Amino acid sequence: MRPISDTKWLHVHTPAGDEFVFVARPEIKDRSKAAVVLIHDLFSTPGAMADWFGRLEPEAEVVLAGLPGHGKAPRFSEGGWTNLITAYARSIDTILPGRRVLVVGAGLGGTIALALAAHRRACVALDPLLSTAGLWPLEARIRAGEARGEALDPDFLFTTIGWRDGAIAENRDYGELLDRIRAPVFVLSGSVPLGEPRDSPAPSLMDGAAHARLAAYPAIRMETLAGCGHDLLREAPEACRELILGELARA
């Protein structure tokens, strides 16, 4: 298996002057292969998904996408959800022109993947956020990060989850994304229920209302993994690998 060090950073500038960062193999311009673009969750980095090069190669070319303000990725100064999704869509078109692409996102990355389905990008959304109100695990994670002195981007957190003044002050409802889907979509969630605040186990962030909303769209395929919570790539890597490669064949 090739070492993770055999990769390079790609920097894509948006028309408004922001910079998006990706990690890929040096031979990314090989257009003969389909590609999987992996978008990490809040509070993570592309490096946390580095072992997915080995899991998905040689069947697919792998590209890791950074969220703004996470790790080496600069903040997104233009702001706004619509501008964010447009910037991702244009960036993928820039680095993977004319390629068959499957976008795979975890958590907030899964919500972004759903939004990119409106740009005709097939996607797998892993425990995506459809509504942020009442998501106590996110609030707990932000408070813990603030206590450790982490450099969290307040503008990005407010735009994406409605976080302000120590709580999710405004709900961000992403259900309308489901009306715009123009490509195959698969949503995977964990079975551990959100429930009331607790120390463990880590739950899925998709509650009954989220599942009901998805069920109203026959074109959206869904599956729930027993015994898993929110971090599906870590908790069920083999199941996720099989599902991703299966969806790539459909893309």
Give whole-number Cα distances, 20 to 10, 62, 85, 247, 250, in Å. Answer: 8, 16, 12, 25, 27
Quote the CA–CA distance of 151 and 250 in Å, as a whole number. Answer: 39
pLDDT-derived band at 193 (thresholds 50, 70, 90) equals very high
Number of CB atoms found within 10 A of residue 106's CB: 29
Q: Which helix (H) or strand (E) holds 10?
A: strand 8-13
> 200 or 111, which is more confident?
111
pLDDT-derived band at 59 (thresholds 50, 70, 90) equals very high
Quote the CA–CA distance of 43 and 70 in Å, as a whole number. Answer: 7
Region 36-62: what's the mean pLDDT? 95
User: Mean pLDDT over all residues of the chain?
Assistant: 94
- pLDDT given for residue 26 in this prediction: 87
Helical spans, DSSP H, in the chain:
52-56, 81-95, 108-116, 136-147, 154-161, 208-215, 232-235, 237-250
For residue 105, which phi and psi values (nearest 5 degrees)? -130, 145
> What residues pair up with 160 in beta bridges, in sequence order?
none
Two tokens at 238? Answer: 């083999």
Range 132-135, long-range pairs (CB < 8 A, 24+ positions): 132/161, 132/162, 132/168, 132/171, 132/172, 132/173, 133/162, 133/168, 133/171, 134/168, 134/194, 134/207, 135/161, 135/168, 135/194, 135/205
Quote the CA–CA distance of 104 and 39 in Å, as a whole number. Answer: 6
Region 148-175: what's the mean pLDDT? 94
Q: Are 68 and 75 in contact (CB under 8 A)?
A: yes
Q: Does position 80 have pLDDT exceeding 90, yes or no?
A: yes
The predicted-structure confidence for 5-42, as pLDDT tens digits, reads as follows 789 999 999 988 999 999 999 888 667 789 999 999 99
Distance of CA 62 to the CA centre of its chain: 14
- pLDDT given for residue 36 in this prediction: 97
Gyration radius of the chain's alpha carbons: 17
- pLDDT given for residue 151 in this prediction: 83
Quote the CA–CA distance of 24 and 60 in Å, as a whole number. Answer: 12
- pLDDT given for residue 199 in this prediction: 87
- Lowest mean pLDDT, pick from 50-54, 111-115, 142-146, 184-188: 142-146
- pLDDT given for residue 240 in this prediction: 98
Quote the CA–CA distance of 220 and 228 in Å, as a whole number. Answer: 21
Question: Which pTM does this prediction carry?
Answer: 0.96
Q: Are 65 and 39 in contact (CB under 8 A)?
A: yes
* Domain 8-134+175-250 annotated CATH 3.40.50.1820: yes
Quote the CA–CA distance of 110 and 165 in Å, as a whole number. Answer: 25
Q: Does position 187 have pLDDT exceeding 70, yes or no?
A: yes
State what percent of residues in the chain have pLDDT above 70: 98
> 2 or 11, which is more confident?
11
Q: Are 50 and 238 in contact (CB under 8 A)?
A: no
pLDDT-derived band at 1 (thresholds 50, 70, 90) equals low
